[in-house]
Structure formats: C-alpha cells, structure tokens
C-alpha cells in the first residue's frame, strides 16, 4: 500500500498533523514507543494566543520578536500570532478542555509576555490534556498506527520522497513503507543533557533522518534551559512551570535571599535564558547545587488548584509547597533549532516536511517565548496540510535573514578519549555545551564528539540508532556554538559575552554530496 502521508512521531505535532491529514488521504503514524510516549504531555505552562481583552496579535508579535533576540523570521511570527485564535478554536472543537473563568478561557502570564495570554488546561497539565484528547481521536479514527517502530531512513527517488524504512523495535525486522509525503514530528533532542526535563524519547531522531536524506539543519546552538526544575537527590528533574513565577513565585538562594532583582529589573519574569544564567551564577556564588522557589506567600488553595500536578508531585516527595520552599535548578528543556523549513513546513527535499520541535520555522529565533511552542505546532501543522493539498503551486522558501552554510568537517581524532556511552555523552554536553559556554570547552567537546562518531558501529537496534542520532545532534550543537563567536539569546559564551551585528544570521548544516 502507498500511503498519502507518513507521520513519524506521536506527540502533539504528530497526532494533530495526522488528524488533519486523514481528511486529505490515507495516514500512517510510525512511533518508536507507544502512542502515549511523548514529550508534549510534560508541557505544563500552556499555549500562548493573543485572545485577551488587553492583548493583540501586534503585541504578541513584538514580545516574540524581542525574545528571539534578532533571529526570528518576522513573516513566520506574523503567521503565528495572526492564525493563533483560529487554531485555539480548532483545539476546542477537538475537545481540549481549556480552563475557564466566569465563562471565558482563563489566561495567565509567563516570563517575557507583556500581558496574560497563556491558555492552560487542568491548571498545569496543558500538554497532557491536549495529547490525551488527540491520541483518543487518533485511536478512534482510520489512521493506522505502528507502535515500537523506529524510522531509520527516508527513502528518496530522483530527489523526491518515496517512503520510509523502519525497524520493528521488538522483532528487529526491517520494513519499508511507501508514501507521497513524510512529516517528521519526532520532537527535540533534550536527552543529550545530564539534567533535562525531557523524556527518554527526545534523542533527535527526526533531525538525523532529515540530515542524512539531504535536508538542512539550522540554529542548533540555541537550546533553551528551563530555569526551574526540581532538584532533589534521586529524583529526576521535574519541571516547575514558568507560570508559577508568573503567578508570583519568588526565587531565593540557599540563604533565603531573593536574588533575581540583583541581576535584572524584570526579576523572576525575565526571559528564560537570563533567569537560568542568573540561577547558575547564584549557585556558584553560594556553593550550592540549587536555589529555591517560594510560593508560600500565595494562598494555599490557589497554589493547589492552579498547579495540581506540581503540588502533587512535590507532596509525593515529601514537600508541601504551600508551606515550604521548592529546591530547583536549571535543566535542558527545548531546542529552538531543527530541520530548516519554510512557512509551509517544507524542507529543501520535495515531499519532506517537519513539524513541532523537530522543525525550525524561524518563530523562536535565538530564544523561544514561553508557551509559543504548542502554538507553533498547531499553526504550522495546519499549514503543512494546506500546502500538501496545493503541492503543484510553487511557494518560495522564506529567508529574511542571512545564512551561512557549513558541513560537519573531519576533526582531529583524539588518541585518548573516555568511552562513549549515554552517561558520558550527557555529561559532556552539560559541562561543555550547556548554559554557559567557552571557546576552549566547545573545542574540546567538538574533538571528543568527532572521535566518538568515528568509532560508532553500524546501528542494529533502537538503543544503537538513538546513540548514533544523539552523537550527530551533539556535533551540530557543539560545532554551531563554536562557530558563533558572540552571545545571543540562549547561546552564551564567556569569551564573547556580547552580541555582534556580524552574527545576526543563521548557521545551517548540510550533508556533503
């Protein structure tokens, strides 16, 4: 059978796109785990949309552009903010139960937003509510879903998508599936870092698939570190939503001192990169591996009802956040870069599209505005389907900023290097390609990663494919960060602490022909 669409991934981007695609043709979803195994369900804060009385698309546009620090694609951002209300209406039609107040959709404020515009569901369970709603609809639809099936290659014929090769993660059997269009929606690569809010599935598979097929990869140096993840011994980092600070949460150091006003006038509501670096500096200054988030001054009932998941998680680990401080530290959270696409979600390969965190649409620039990610999914996934319906019409790729193209060059191979395993990879990225970077540290990381990549054997199962993909994505990040000799947005270098107009451009990687 030749499918009209193959969607790789089963997060919100994959599910939403698949549900739209089934109205236009036959759809197959390939997902390396179960449908419910995805990163999106961890999205607590919400989805941004300019629907409030004191808000407007123009204001949302300006906030997004400001957060992106000179690298947002203005055309893509205009599309994002102008199409937002209609896409929220679509989610409501699908049955997503957004929270309401006095009969209207409830809005909250997050960092770098000038007004409350973040819509949420279940208080702090927005991603989960959207994902569960969409997965239920997919299960009830005609969409074919192959679980525990890892895509390993995009098959091309005469430079055009022909299908996907995949391995059954349980049997090891290799199968090929033909289609007209492939939509990559595999999420980001947050598992690359030692401390991360991402689930185990976030290994950058879609980026590796796209690159190996000849697609372009861009903005990989811009990885967002969330300022506040729970830091408790033996407990995996658990995201404490930015909305907690939006509702009045205060950051204190180990001496109970409120330190954020010392770093920036916006204090706790500064952009994420600023808050994350400030926390890191404060931890170093006090010799601690954590700071604390204080919500004890907020009415207990309001905390418990507005953030039920956070409240329950902390309570399950012996902490009542209405009475005690929450120990937190930054953790890897979101990839702003990805597969380079135009405003219709198209790559430079005919028939290949990318959506969600896998894609780089240009709306996030150097630093994503909080809660724009879920909005990006629904806005640009809709446009992908519109484009496939009119595929015979030529649509030029949007390119409003200068671009420099690079290849992953051969690097010096180290004679002595630590053994490549997941733990060592995560530690290397956290230590050398993390929140604060330096030229020396990045150079070291680049050499180690090149050596590891040269030593990799041909993958044969899910763990080995994932490790190969992660090393490739790590090289993108480290090489791009070393190339960008400035600090901008989420990319900060101690040897180049200021931004430079010479670097108001994008770094793009292409495979050698």
Q: Give residue-wise pLDDT tens across range 465-482.
A: 999 999 999 999 999 999
Q: 386 pLDDT exceeds 80?
A: yes
CATH number assigned to the domain with residue range 226-332, chosen from the 4 options 3.90.700.10, 3.40.50.300, 3.30.70.2740, 2.40.30.110: 3.90.700.10
Q: pTM to 2 decimals?
A: 0.93
**Average pLDDT, whole number, for the chain?**
93
Q: What is the pLDDT of residues 96-135, one digit of tens each?
A: 999 998 888 999 888 789 999 999 988 777 888 888 899 9
- Give the pLDDT mean for 257-266: 96
User: H or E segment at 235?
Assistant: none
Tell me if residue 272 is catalytic: yes
pLDDT at 333: 94
Which band of pLDDT confidence, cut at 50, 70 and 90, is reported for residue 45? low
- Read off the pLDDT band of 93 (50, 70, 90): very high
Determine how many CB atoms are found less than 10 A away from the CB of residue 423.
10
pLDDT tens figures, 14-23: 999 999 999 9
Tell me: pLDDT of 396 over 70: no
Task: Write the pLDDT tens digit of every residue in 198-223.
Answer: 989 999 999 999 999 999 999 999 99
Q: How far apart are alpha carbons 481 and 493 in whole angstroms?
A: 9
* Residue 43 pLDDT grade (very low, low, confident, very high; cuts 50, 70, 90): low
Q: Residue 317: which H helix or E strand, with range?
A: none
Class of domain 408-509: mainly alpha
Domain-wise residue ranges, the chain: 226-332, 408-509
| pLDDT-based confidence at residue 92 (cuts at 50, 70, 90) | very high
The pLDDT confidence band at residue 38, using thresholds 50, 70 and 90, is low
Percentage of residues in the chain having pLDDT higher than 90: 81
**Rounded-to-integer distance, Cα 255 and Cα 277, Å:** 19
Beta strands in 21-103 (DSSP E): 27-30, 47-48, 100-101
Query: Which one of 87, 109, 231, 272 is the catalytic residue?
Result: 272
Question: What whole-number distance in Å separates Cα of residue 420 and Cα of residue 471?
Answer: 9
Quote the Cα angle for 40-111-430, to 5°: 60
Backbone angles phi, psi at 176, to 5 degrees: -120, 140
What is the per-residue pLDDT for 400? 43
Instruction: Give the pLDDT band (50/70/90) at residue 484.
Output: very high
- With 80 as the cut, is the pLDDT of residue 395 above it? no
Q: What is the pLDDT of residue 415?
A: 80
pLDDT at 497: 97
Predicted confidence at residue 132, as pLDDT, reads: 87
Dist CA 173 CA 75 (whole Å): 44
Q: Is the pLDDT of residue 226 over 60?
A: yes
Q: In which band, very low, low, confident or very high, does the pLDDT at 399 lie, cut at 50, 70 and 90?
A: very low
What percentage of the chain carries pLDDT values higher than 70? 96
Q: What are phi and psi of 469, to 5 degrees?
A: -65, -40
Least confident of 2-11, 401-410, 438-447: 401-410
Per-residue pLDDT for 338 more than 50? yes
Q: Residue 334 forms beta bridges with which residues?
A: 224
Q: How far apart are the first and last CA of the chain?
A: 31
């Amino acid at each position: 059978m030749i499918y009209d669409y193959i969607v790789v991934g089963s997060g919100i981007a994959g599910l939403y796109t698949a549900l739209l695609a089934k109205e236009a043709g036959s759809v197959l979803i390939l997902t390396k785990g179960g449908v419910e195994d995805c990163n999106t369900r961890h999205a607590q804060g919400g989805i941004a949309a300019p629907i409030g009385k004191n808000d407007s698309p123009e204001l949302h546009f300006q906030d997004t552009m400001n957060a992106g620090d000179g690298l947002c694609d203005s055309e893509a951002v205009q599309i994002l903010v102008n199409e937002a209300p209609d896409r929220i209406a679509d989610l409501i039609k699908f049955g997503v139960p957004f929270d309401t107040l006095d009969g209207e959709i409830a809005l909250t404020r997050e960092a770098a937003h000038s007004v409350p515009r973040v819509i949420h569901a279940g208080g702090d369970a927005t991603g989960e509510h959207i994902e569960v709603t969409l997965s239920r609809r997919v299960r009830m639809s005609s969409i074919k879903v192959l679980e525990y099936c890892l895509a390993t290659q995009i098959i091309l014929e005469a430079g055009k998508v022909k299908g996907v090769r995949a391995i059954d993660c349980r049997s090891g059997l290799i199968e090929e599936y033909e289609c007209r269009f492939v939509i990559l929606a595999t999420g980001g690569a947050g598992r690359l870092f030692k401390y991360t809010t991402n689930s185990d599935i976030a290994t950058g598979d879609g980026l590796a698939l796209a690159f190996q097929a000849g697609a372009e990869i861009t903005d990989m140096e811009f990885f967002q570190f969330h300022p506040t993840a729970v830091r408790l011994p033996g407990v995996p980092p658990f995201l404490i939503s930015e909305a907690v600070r939006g509702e009045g949460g205060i950051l204190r150091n180990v001496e109970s001192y409120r330190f954020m006003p010392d770093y920036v006038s916006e204090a706790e509501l500064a952009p994420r990169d600023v808050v994350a670096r400030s926390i890191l500096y404060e931890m170093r200054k006090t010799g601690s591996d954590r700071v604390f988030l204080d919500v004890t001054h907020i009415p207990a009932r309001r905390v418990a009802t507005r953030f039920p998941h956070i409240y329950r998680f902390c309570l399950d680990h012996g902490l009542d956040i209405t009475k005690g401080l929450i120990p937190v530290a930054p953790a890897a959270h979101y990839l702003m870069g990805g597969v380079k696409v135009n405003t219709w979600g198209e790559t430079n390969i005919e028939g290949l599209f990318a959506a969600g965190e896998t894609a780089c649409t240009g709306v996030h620039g150097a630093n994503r505005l909080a809660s724009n990610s879920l909005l990006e999914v629904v806005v640009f996934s809709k446009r992908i389907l519109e484009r496939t319906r009119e595929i015979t019409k030529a649509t030029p790729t949007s390119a409003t900023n200068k671009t420099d193209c690079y290849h992953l060059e051969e690097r010096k191979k180290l004679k002595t290097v630590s053994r490549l395993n997941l733990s060592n990879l995560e530690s290397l990225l956290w230590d050398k390609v993390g929140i604060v970077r330096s030229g020396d540290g990045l150079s070291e990381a680049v050499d180690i990663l090149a050596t590891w990549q040269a030593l990799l054997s041909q993958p044969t199962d899910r763990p080995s494919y994932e490790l190969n993909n992660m090393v490739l994505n790590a090289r993108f990040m480290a090489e791009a960060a070393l190339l960008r000799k400035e600090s901008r947005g989420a990319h900060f270098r101690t040897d180049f602490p200021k931004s430079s107009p010479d670097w108001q451009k994008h770094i793009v990687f292409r495979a050698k022909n």
